[in-house]
Amino acid sequence: MSLSESFGARARRQLLGSIPVTVGLVILGALVAASALAQVLAPYNPKRATGGINEPPSLTHLFGTTGQGQDVLSQFLYGGQNTLWVAFSIAVLTTLLALIVALTAAYFRGWVDDVLTLVTNVFLVIPGLPLVVVLAAFLPPGPLTMIMVLTITGWAFGARLFRSQALSLREREFIAAAEDVGESRWRIVAIELLPNMGSVVAAYFVNQVIFAITAQASLEFLGLGDGGQITWGSMLFWAQNSSALIRGAWWTFVVPGMAIALTAFSLALINNAVDEIGNPRLRADRLLRKAGVRKPSATLMTPVKRDA
């Protein structure tokens, strides 16, 4: 039996039925669509002063204007574009890097595994933000720097997660069987291991998007981003810079902040659901609850070693 099919089918069935997932998907979809259509939807040029300074929300400026007189709605839309593509790139790159490291370790085993594990663990214990701050300070500001810096510092946890997942899968009978039959190790990694890691990889990827969005915003807030580029983080940076809250211009601050929080929240909702599907115990618990059984009977369970 290949777990991948059942995972896909199960995911479709369960994810679409769950309320949190629906809420998450709707929020995320709305934010992504609005950002993607910024060029169409934005009423003004986001970089130009098109109104007075710190005008509160009105019909001409739905989300008000910034301390420089730019339209907050237009900035929010264009900012979403710049923020989201960078965040997704970082998530894709860190996931790929983590997978490559984990599967290489699982494939070669022996000293390669030892070295890669050591490198991973070193990256894991070196605290992220200080390193990121130092790195970002020395490279020219811009989206590429952001992607590079956050990829370098963000992959290690995934590598450890994927490696232990691969190791535990390797113990399974079907892999042992494949090895006995004499299938090549690459084939085992590609055909047997990888597809079975679907739920873990998916959950990790979603987590990485959240990580990337908040880390990016934090760096930009500290002034280490490219201030000329409109992102949600740089909007916050400028809001803070012109003392928006003290001057009562809450809209310049709350709009990008809520955009970041809502994106992360919608992803977290989806992730939590993915997690429940990937975790057989929680899944069984849920199914039983649906069936009206308050406490699951132990006989239904097979304990599965799960990496926290």
Partner 1 sequence: MHTNSVPKKPSPGLIGRLRTSLRALALGALASVSAFAVTAPALAEVPLDQLVRIVAEGGNSFTRTFNPFSPTARWVSTRTMYEPLMIQNYATGKLDPWLATAYEWSADALSLTVTLRDDVKWSDGQPFSADDVKFTFELMKANPGLIGPAAGAFSQYLSSVEAVDAKTVKFTFSSTYTPGLYSLVDQFIVPQHIWKDVADPVTFENPDPVGTGPFTTIDAFGTDRYQVTKNPNYWQPLNIEGVFVQGFNGNDQVSAATLSGNLDWGGLVPDPDVTFVPLDPEHFGYWWPRTSVVLLLANTTDGALGDPVVRKAMSMALDRQRMINTGVWGKSVAANATGLPEAPFKDWLDAKVIADGAAWVSIDPDAANKMLDEAGYAKGADGIRVGKDGKPLKYDIIVPSGWNDWVSACQIVAENLKDIGIDVTLRTTTADSWTNSTFTGQFQLSLGTAQRTATPFEFYRNNMATTSVKPVGEASPNNQQRYGDPKVDELLAKFAASTDAAEQKAIIAELEGMFSAAAPAIPLYEQPDWGLYNTRRFTGFPNEQDPYAPLSLQMTNGPLLVWPHLARRAE
Partner 2 sequence: MYYIAKRLAFYVLAAFVAITVNFFLPRLTPGDPASTIVATYSTSLNAESLAALKAAYGLTDEPLLQQYVTYLGNVLRGDFGRSLSNFPAPVMAVIGAGFGWSILLGLTSVLLSFVLGSVLGAVAAWRRGGWFDRLTPPVLLFLGSFPYFFLALLLFYVFCFKLGWFPMGNAYSSVNPPALNLSGIGDILLHLIAPAFTIVLVSLGPWTLNMRNAMIGVLSEDYLTLAEAKGLPPRRVLLSHAVRTALLPNITALGAAVGAVFSGQLLTEIVFTYPGLGYALMRAVSAVDYPLMQALFLIITLSVLAANFLVDTLYVLLDPRVRTGGEA
Residues in 25-84 at the binding interface with partner 2, rule: CB under 8 A = none
> Cβ closer to partner 1: 198 or 223?
223
Which residue matches tokens 């301390």? 67
Of residues 32, 96, 222, 241, which one binds partner 2 by CB under 8 A?
Answer: 222
Of residues 19, 59, 125, 246, which one binds partner 1 by CB under 8 A?
Answer: 246
Buried b (16+ CB within 10 A) or exposed e, 220-238: bbeebbbeebbbbbbbbbb
3-state secondary structure labels for all residues of 239-303? HHHCCCCCCCCCHHHHHHHHHHHHHHHHHHHHHHHHHHHHCHHHHHHHHHHHCCCCCCCHHHCCC
Residues in 92-121 at the binding interface with partner 2, rule: CB under 8 A = 118, 121
> Nearest 5°: phi and psi at 6?
-65, -35
- Quote the tokens at residue 219: 């760096």
Q: Is 137 in the site for partner 1 (CB under 8 A)?
A: yes
Q: Which does 78 bind (CB under 5 to 8 A by kind): partner 1, partner 2, none?
A: none
Minimal distance, residue 182 CB to partner 2, in Å? 28
Q: Is 272 in the site for partner 2 (CB under 8 A)?
A: yes
Q: Is 242 in the site for partner 2 (CB under 8 A)?
A: no
Cα gap 219→129, rounded to integer Å: 9
Minimal distance, residue 41 CB to partner 1, in Å? 22
Q: Is 218 in the site for partner 2 (CB under 8 A)?
A: yes
Of residues 20, 57, 128, 223, which one binds partner 1 by CB under 8 A?
Answer: 223
Minimal distance, residue 262 CB to partner 1, in Å? 24
Residue count of the chain, please give it: 308
Q: Is 144 in the site for partner 2 (CB under 8 A)?
A: no
Q: Which does 26 bind (CB under 5 to 8 A by kind): partner 2, partner 1, none?
A: none
Stretch that binds partner 1, among 57-65, 221-229, 257-265, 297-305 (CB under 8 A): 221-229
Q: Is 257 in the site for partner 1 (CB under 8 A)?
A: no
Amino acid in position 182: G
Q: Is 261 in the site for partner 2 (CB under 8 A)?
A: yes
Buried b (16+ CB within 10 A) or exposed e, 13-49: ebbeebebbeebbebbeebbebbeebeeebebebeee
Closest by Cα among 17, 14, 18, 27 to 264: 27
- From residue 155 to residue 194, what is the string marking binding to partner 2 with x (rule CB under 8 A)? --x-------------------------------------
- Quote the tokens at residue 205: 């990827």
Cα gap 204→211, rounded to integer Å: 10
Closest by Cα among 107, 281, 286 to 184: 107
Q: Which does 60 bind (CB under 5 to 8 A by kind): partner 1, partner 2, none?
A: none
> Cβ closer to partner 2: 177 or 258?
258
- Quote the tokens at residue 267: 């992803």
Q: Are 46 and 71 in contact (CB under 8 A)?
A: yes
Q: Is 69 in the site for partner 1 (CB under 8 A)?
A: yes
List interacting residues with partner 1 (CB under 8 A): 47-49, 53, 67-69, 137, 141, 223-224, 226-228, 237, 240-243, 245-247
